[in-house]
Amino acid sequence: MRNMIDFSSWQGLLSTLLGLVLVTLVAVGLRLLVMQRLQQKRER
């Protein structure tokens, strides 16, 4: 019984963590792009 609960909880935890990491990476990448664009506009 413990193995079943452990496995399912680990699977859910891992998928949730992976989703959070992906969303965070995408958000950081977009923010970096926006900052770069703004800096380029200011330099001109």
For the residues of the chain, what is the DSSP string, one character each?
-HHHHHHHHHHHHHHHHHHHHHHHHHHHHHHHHHHHHHHHHHH-
Structural domain that includes position 5:
1-44
Task: Give the model's pLDDT for residue 11.
Answer: 85
- Tell me the per-residue pLDDT of 19-38, one tens digit each, with 9 for 90 and over: 999 999 999 999 999 999 99
Reading the block at residue 33, the tokens are 């792009």
What distance in Å separates the CA atoms of residue 11 and residue 23, rounded to the nearest whole number?
18
Count: domains in the chain: 1
Q: What pLDDT is stored for residue 9 in this prediction?
A: 81
Handedness of CA 29, 35, 41, 43 (dihedral sign): negative
Amino acid making up residue 7: F
**Average pLDDT of the chain to the nearest whole number:** 88
